[in-house]
A and B are shown apart, each in its own frame.
Chain A
């Protein structure tokens, strides 16, 4: 199979020089991190006051982990390491409460990110001849813009379709002879199931490849998608705290996702003990940014579970590969590619006086897509007997949830005492989705 590269020297760098490069970049990153109030205090506590205290990659282990809650505590400027004037873009992602995680980017940060995405695209064999329909959200969510700029750099023809409006997606795919799409796996399944209904058939398309990410899916679902569409499906991994897409990406060999180790130090830890698990053992992915100036993050606990493959890939890239994501080590839900924490939902509905004590977050599949329903009990003293009041209460809950979690959930109102009473958070969530 033909193997192309975007930055061949970096992508095929030998392990020893790669480690040397990582150390150099880590030291730079630590110096930048020390400019932020958060890391200044955190690193001083472990006696790291300058990059001189980082003498080898082993010294990384002296640095405590950074969690999503740490990022939240620093909101909005606690993690900013450069002058705000040098920041050219802000992305945020869902936090465990109403306070999101914010990531700042300088021009060079975006430039580096774009190169990582460009590498990923070229690694799958895509070229400037490809017509790329990007069905991920544009905006604060990094999936859309991340792939967009990488594809533009490689020179692909981009159709910035964004998600949804399935019939129009099909029309665009047909009219512009789309060869490559970026999409959540459940939305691709959805498109497959709706072709006939919207008057299309696979013969209308010349699709060759799909990049699937933003939610977990199995190897079997990949095979199913590849077979039913007659395409290659490439697995993509990223998170906004680490820029977004382009952290780890599959090459033409589709045998695990190469993590760009000249941009991230990757670790897999036991989520309970924090102990490093090395390769081939499943645990929580932990990343350290190596090239980001505006928001350096050290040893970020992603809560995503995966393992690192041993050995090298036939494509000659020396960057190690991770498995597909098998789950989470926290209670975060991924709903049609959007990350939602049950605590975000709780925070919203418990502020509404008409809502009683009990609620339930209910997830199910509606066709190939996820459906999120928030069931709430009405606080009986707030019941006025007015139908319009209940309708507007429902509307209010939907609007406030939409503002907090980006998704638009269905809301059901219930009598007090009907929903299951739970002692802990876990039972508040009923996930009846079949894994894909």
Chain B
């Protein structure tokens, strides 16, 4: 199933990432995964959190530009070739990947990956058919 990722526009000025993280901390929102896409002058912080709706509300109330995107999180074996196996499935099924990043993970033998697809529903179908575990909304809270 699809998860929600929050994208936040970050100006390249001092303390801006701290501002986001400290706000989420105060609201007791836990970041489960994050990545930053950057250019010279600005970046986009992408995060997966346990309470996305609350997080977006808090961010917007505090003047941040934030937007929600559907993503797919999957569990793979934390061993060489683990990611390659998934990418092969996607490629064989003509699923287009826009970007991806790694996930904070506590269980030792599994790695969690976040994917952004242009057609997430089709991707989930393909992944499930290939017995890849797709993380759900409840799972994310318990990670």
Contacts and interface: CB of A to CB of B under 8 A. Distances in A.
A and B found bound together: yes
A378 B41 CA distance: 14
Interface in B20-46: 37, 39, 41-42, 44, 46
Given A415-B9, A418-B11, A385 B63 contact: no
A384 interface: yes
Given A385-B46, A385-B69, A387-B44, A415 B7 contact: no
Interface residues of B, number: 19
B11 A385 contact: no
A417 to B, nearest CB: 5
Contact of B65 (A391, A412, A416): A416
A387 B37 contact: yes
Nearest to B43: A387
Contacts of B67: 383-385
A413 interface: yes
A378 B65 contact: yes
A415 B63 contact: yes
A201 interface: no
- How many chain A residues sit at the interface, stated as a range, is 10 to 19
Nearest to A375: B41
A387 B63 contact: no
Nearest to A414: B11
B26 to A, nearest CB: 20
A82 interface: no
B11 A415 contact: yes
B64 interface: yes
Contacts of B9: 378, 383, 385, 390, 415
B41 A387 contact: no
Contacts of B69: 385
| The 6 A-B residue pairs with the shortest CB-CB distance in the complex, in nearest-first order | A385-B7, A385-B67, A383-B65, A380-B65, A387-B37, A383-B67
Interface of B: 6-9, 11, 37, 39, 41-42, 44, 46, 60, 63-69
Given A378-B65, A387-B37, 20 more contacts: A380-B60, A383-B7, A383-B67, A384-B7, A385-B8, A385-B46, A385-B66, A385-B67, A385-B68, A385-B69, A386-B7, A386-B44, A387-B44, A390-B39, A390-B44, A415-B11, A415-B63, A415-B64, A415-B65, A417-B63
8 contacts: A383-B7, A385-B6, A385-B7, A385-B44, A386-B44, A387-B37, A417-B63, A418-B11
Interface of A: 378, 380, 383-387, 390-391, 412-418
